[in-house]
Amino acid sequence: METLLDYFRRVAAIEWWIVAIELFLIGLVVYWAVDFLEGTRGERLFRGVIFILIAGFLILKLVVRRFPFERLQYLYNGFLIAVLIIAVAAFQPEIRRALIRIGQPRFWAGSSQKLARTVEEIIAAVMEFSAARIGAIIVIERRTALGEFTETGVPIDAIVTTELLKTIFYPDTILHDMAVIIRGDRIVAAGVQLPLAEAGTVYGFELGSRHRAAIGIAAGSDATCLVVSEETGIISIAQGGQLTRRVTESQLRTYLTATMREPAPVLERFWKRPKRISSQEQKETA
């Protein structure tokens, strides 16, 4: 206890603004690392390593200053080196991805250009799916991490392009029946199994599997889900557990631009909900 009090006395003797700046910088680095790893397997590993290091440092410092455990201090220093080597090996994919992002020209150009390019690539693919009546379901991850779902699919980790989306959803391919998850400007996984909402009707038409999956993921997270009907080619958007149908290209562009920028977009801000559809349009099965 005396050792802990002595530590706080020494910290209190330092200028408060120096301590505040140091804590802010440390917190900023930790936040950036956690945010970058959010939704990946590396996130849990990172949290575990940080916990072990902090707990080991605090306990060891208090014990060593109280008792002459020099050999324990020596072993802990060797343990830190081993943890560093293991972390470099374990976080190799994340480190490589971070360095690639920093080295890419669009990283320095800002997020606006990257956002606009990603939106246009998605729109081009969705409009082609609609015209050719190719079923597709595209999930855009937002603040809520979807790591538990991406792990059920096939890892992709590639820049969003129209060609790649068309290849994934091409009829009769292995991945075309499941969902694609997009995080930022990258397709993180394809062939993802999503939770299905309960069977029912929306605006007079019976929900198919794709639309039920879209509502299911949108109800359980803040993700935005785009659905293209294989039967009719109609484009729909699921957000907050609600489904909006008959989305036009201009509405899709407006909504995607807003939903990838703002923390909580509202569908009604951009267009009115569609009217009930006729019985001839109730054949949609997704």
The single-letter DSSP state of residue 143 is S
Mean pLDDT of the chain: 77
- Give the span between the Cα atoms of 247 and 122, in whole angstroms: 14
Q: How far is the CA of 16 from the CAs of 25, 39, 143, 188, in angstroms? A: 14, 36, 34, 43
Q: Is the pLDDT of residue 182 over 80?
A: yes
Q: Is the pLDDT of residue 263 over 70?
A: no
Q: How do the domains of the chain map onto residue ranges?
A: 2-100, 108-281
Side-chain half-sphere exposure of 231, counting CA atoms within 13 A: 15
Q: Are 11 and 19 in contact (CB under 8 A)?
A: yes
Alpha-carbon 233 to chain mean position = 27
Q: Are 94 and 40 in contact (CB under 8 A)?
A: yes
The H-or-E segment that residue 238 falls in is strand 235-239
Mean pLDDT computed over 108-134 = 85
Q: Are 194 and 149 in contact (CB under 8 A)?
A: yes
- Give the span between the Cα atoms of 243 and 236, in whole angstroms: 7
pLDDT value, residue 126: 96
pTM, entire model: 0.59
Helices 249-259 & 111-132 angle (0-180, nearest 10): 140
Q: Is the pLDDT of residue 273 over 70?
A: no
Q: Which residues contact 199 (CB under 8 A, 6 or more apart)?
A: 206, 207, 212
The single-letter DSSP state of residue 100 is H
pLDDT value, residue 125: 96
pLDDT value, residue 105: 52
Rounded to 10 degrees, what is the CA torsion of 59, 62, 65, 69? -30
- Give the span between the Cα atoms of 64 and 66, in whole angstroms: 5
- Give the span between the Cα atoms of 161 and 268, in whole angstroms: 28
- Give the span between the Cα atoms of 71 and 249, in whole angstroms: 68
Q: In CATH terms, is domain 108-281 a member of 3.40.47.10?
A: no
Q: Is the pLDDT of residue 36 over 60?
A: yes
- Give the span between the Cα atoms of 3 and 234, in whole angstroms: 69
